[in-house]
Chains A and B, each alone.
Chain A
Amino acid sequence: MKHGKWPLLATFLLPPLALYAYFVISPYAQTFVISTTDWHGLSRNYNVVGLDNFKRLWNDEHIWNALLHNLWLLLLLPVVTILLGLFLATMLNVGGRSGRITGVWGASVYKLIYFAPQMLSVAVIGVLWTEVYNPRSGLLNAGLRAIGLDGLAQIWLGDPDVALAAVIAVMVWSNVGFYVVLFGAAMQSVPKDIYEAAALDGASRFATMFKITVPLLWDTIQVAWVYLAIIAMDSFALVQIMTRGGPSFSTDVIGERVYDVSFGDSQFGYGSAIGVVMFFLTLTITIVALRLTRRERIELS
């Protein structure tokens, strides 16, 4: 591959690199610079204020409030989604008799339905669930009243005490199907004799799940955790559509703060500083997760 190497490299690499540098690298780099200024708007005038934005951020209770919600998301979204995903995938794949990997009747239909929300855009999911939660005409309250549980009917997205849980539930709803399929694929690759041996020893289904399936799928579960953690940090699109961080900041997340402070209050310097903090948090979470994964692999081998 010596002849004609450089013409090919130039035509193959330069266009994507140029596009990437202009639209991705340069904005990211600029954000770090802007975060040290007091830039306020559409004019090009600003003062360099050093780390003042970050000091202000430390004392901003809205930031801590939003961070707390990100933390809840970070804890609840992966745990609930993975547990539900594992549970449903076990029911689907390790069905039949005594833990045999035959797949339960109708497994493909279940998978078809579970995975469907994955195909919907975040706007569709957000608008759909805003209507489901609609206190007057929504599916949820009407359903609760129909089965006599009037007391449980809520103004779901209008009540600061339940709004965050309602949003997290939507995120779980839309993500579970993907992990059912992902874990299902991993379960299919586990040798059948392991399950048959467990069945011979008289292991119950739940023992099989926690003693065999979970350890063997540990790698996949960790990949799932990293992805869900990133979704939890990043997915303010849904919050933006469903609640815009309200009511009274009860569903506010860091991404929403960056957006509101920057484009709402045109405090671009301060907004960028919040973004930078968010970046370092995401980076830390990713590194910690990757470290944990690596250590686990060494112990196993």
Chain B
Amino acid sequence: MSTLTSADPATEAAATRRAPAKRSGGKSLVDGTLNVFSHGFLLVWGLLTALPLLWAVLSAFKSDNEILSDPWGLPGSLRWDNFSRAWTHGHIGQYFLNTGIVLIGSLTLTMLLGATAAYALARYQFWGNRIVYFAFVGGMMFPVVLAFVPLFFVVRDAGMLNTLPGLMLVYTAYSLPFTVFFLTAFFRTLPTAVSEAALIDGCGPFRLFFRVMLPMAKPGLISVGIFNFLAHWNQYLLPVVLLKDENKYVLAQGLAALAVSEGYRGDYSRLFAGLTLAMLPVLVVYAVFQRQIQAGLTAGQMK
């Protein structure tokens, strides 16, 4: 086997990997060590990423004493009651429910309003089209912190402070810039021939949008949907400013509050159980849909 011509790169790569010493010549030897080297680096970063997560999950099964005395040790027994305490006494269950309610509302609204606005801006010529577009897209440049103080009063004046619907509307409003920006670009790329054919067949403009254009825009909608799901799920500062009522807390906010209160009480096992409950569902969904999620998110950032 010469170094540069090979029939099957896959088997050859496997050969390099498994038996670098068998190969003759300086070049392949360097490649072999480099391969060990690169796997070394890849493994180190993999451990750095995975260890804290595994540690949190394992600690969720420990007693407080085990957590404090032996951080690297395995739990002596699986203490499932940590989870039930976190779920009920730590209110993680309530926070989950609140987050779910807000996400269902905010995601539906964001996708509906974002898609309709983007479609109108991408497909129709009218006076002010550019102005409206840049008004939307300009919102991406402002740090959200900048709006906090007036936003608090705007939401209060609308009577929606401390309410989940208020939070849904605010999430939606702050997601519109990126959603409109991304989907406008996407709707522009769809072929006009299809919509013209549908119009000739007697399809009204509303039906054209819901029956033809939306299905055609599905890949773009999925990308931006994943992006918005994670952004809303991630949201921490908006709820901190807009929800002061503990029963209305969303998961992120509740978890941070739990961390502060457990710090005083020293109830670490409940904190880790809460952390695990907040972490595992997303990681499981991610493990199942990783390809779509990775592709969707990177597409979202590249445009």
Q: What is the interface of chain A, defined by CB distance below 8 A to chain B?
A: 1, 3-5, 7-9, 11-13, 15-17, 19-20, 22-28, 30-31, 34, 84, 87-88, 91-92, 95-98, 100, 102, 104-106, 110-124, 126-132, 136-139, 141-143, 146, 173, 176-178, 181-182, 185, 199-200, 202, 205, 220, 223, 227, 233-234, 236-237, 240-241, 255, 258-259, 262-263, 268, 271-272, 275-276, 278-279, 282-283, 286
Distance in Å: Cβ of B67 to nearest Cβ of chain A: 5
Residues of B within 8 Å of A258, CB to CB, are 145-146, 148
Residues of A within 8 Å of B19, CB to CB, are none
- Known contacts A3-B205, A8-B205, A105-B17: A139-B294 contact under CB 8 Å: no
Residues of B within 8 Å of A114, CB to CB, are 45-46, 49
- Chain A residue, CB-CB nearest to B279: A124
CA distance A1 to B124 in the complex (A): 8
Distance in Å: Cβ of A242 to nearest Cβ of chain B: 10
CA distance A30 to B52 in the complex (A): 42
Closest 3 CB pairs of A and B: A123-B252, A23-B173, A30-B150
A104 in contact with B38 (CB, 8 Å): yes
| Listed A/B pairs (10) with beta-carbon separation below 8 Å | A4-B205, A19-B173, A30-B154, A104-B42, A124-B278, A131-B272, A132-B55, A139-B52, A240-B237, A255-B143
- Known contacts A9-B120, A23-B174: A136-B68 contact under CB 8 Å: yes
Distance in Å: Cβ of B51 to nearest Cβ of chain A: 7
Distance in Å: Cβ of A134 to nearest Cβ of chain B: 8
Give the one of B120, B139, B268 with max A CB within 10 A.
Answer: B120
A-B interface contact total, Cβ < 8 Å: 295
> Cβ of B246 < 8 Å from any Cβ of A?
no
CA distance A132 to B259 in the complex (A): 13
Q: Which of B237, B241, B297 contacts A178 (CB 8 A)?
A: B297
Interface of B is mostly: helix
> Cβ of B78 < 8 Å from any Cβ of A?
no
Given pairs A4-B205, A19-B169, A97-B28, 14 additional interface contacts (CB within 8 A): A1-B195, A8-B209, A20-B136, A25-B135, A27-B150, A28-B146, A28-B150, A97-B13, A114-B45, A119-B283, A131-B56, A181-B298, A234-B145, A258-B146
- Known contacts A116-B286, A220-B302, A237-B237: A124-B149 contact under CB 8 Å: no
Interface of A is mostly: helix
- Chain A residue, CB-CB nearest to B136: A20
> Cβ of B251 < 8 Å from any Cβ of A?
yes
Residue-wise, chain B 150-177 has the 8 Å CB interface mask toward A (1 for contact) of: 1100110010000000000110111011
